[in-house]
């Protein structure tokens, strides 16, 4: 037997063992109440994004339906969608990726300081509460849904001040 054959045999055996360990971990994570029943919640989704904040500190945002737990991961039925909040001069835009649901099945509730979105279709459930950094007027909220992207626009209570300035001559 050549060195390569021996290396390949050991490597393949290692990956088979890793596959068994992961299979057992997922089965254990899905057990409910120790009764031996396995509950399936549909797709397992986990993602994160890293961006640089205005203060120079990196911000890490996670989404999905798998959350870290103390001993094992927690898996929930609803997926927390990837969300972006964009602050403009007079409005906030909350943008969420919620593919695979019909717009009639999306529920959006807006309060003075938060936006709550839930959506449920045959095999997908989404839920997210977004706390806004400033007060908004809930009655001005508008939502559009196109190609799996939900965009919610809501006006701020205190609109941004226009910049006051003057033009100077460059010498």
Any idea what the CATH number is for the domain that residue 67 is in? 2.60.40.790
- What is the arithmetic mean of pLDDT over 76-105? 91
Judgement on whether residues 60 and 23 belong to the same structural domain of the protein? no
Judgement on whether residues 77 and 146 belong to the same structural domain of the protein? yes
CA dist list (Å): 49 to 74, 151, 157: 20, 19, 30
Q: Considering the domain boundaries, does residue 7 fall inside one? A: yes
Q: Considering the domain boundaries, does residue 162 fall inside one? A: no
- Say what percent of the chain tops pLDDT 90: 37
- What is the arithmetic mean of pLDDT over 145-149? 94
Q: Considering the domain boundaries, does residue 164 fall inside one? A: no
Question: Which residue segment(s) compose the domain that 73 sits in?
Answer: 46-155
Q: What is the pLDDT of residue 66?
A: 78
Nearest 5°: the CA angle 26, 22, 33 is 25
Judgement on whether residues 29 and 69 belong to the same structural domain of the protein? no
Judgement on whether residues 27 and 97 belong to the same structural domain of the protein? no
Judgement on whether residues 52 and 128 belong to the same structural domain of the protein? yes
Judgement on whether residues 99 and 144 belong to the same structural domain of the protein? yes
The verdict on pTM exceeding 0.85 is no
CA nearest 39: which of 23, 26, 22? 26
Q: Considering the domain boundaries, does residue 57 fall inside one? A: yes
Q: Are 153 and 142 in contact (CB under 8 A)?
A: yes
CA distance 121 to 126: 9
Q: What is the pLDDT of residue 147?
A: 93
Residue 170 has pLDDT above 70, yes or no: no
């Amino acid at each position: 037997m050549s060195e390569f054959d021996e290396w390949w045999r050991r490597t393949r055996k290692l990956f088979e063992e890793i596959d068994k360990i992961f299979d057992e971990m997922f089965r254990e994570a899905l057990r409910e109440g120790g009764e031996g029943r396995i509950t399936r919640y549909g797709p397992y989704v986990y993602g994160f994004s890293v961006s640089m904040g205005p203060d120079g500190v990196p911000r890490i945002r996670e989404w999905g339906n798998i959350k870290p737990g103390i001993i094992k991961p927690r898996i929930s039925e609803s997926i927390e969608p990837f969300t972006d909040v964009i602050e403009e001069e007079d409005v906030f835009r909350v943008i969420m990726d919620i593919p695979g649901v019909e717009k009639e099945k999306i529920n959006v509730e807006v309060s003075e300081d938060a936006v709550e979105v839930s959506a449920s279709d045959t095999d997908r459930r989404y839920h997210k509460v977004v706390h806004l950094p400033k007060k908004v007027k809930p009655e001005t909220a508008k939502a559009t849904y196109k190609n799996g992207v939900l965009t919610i626009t809501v006006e701020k209570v205190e609109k941004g001040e226009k910049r006051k300035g003057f033009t100077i001559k460059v010498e």
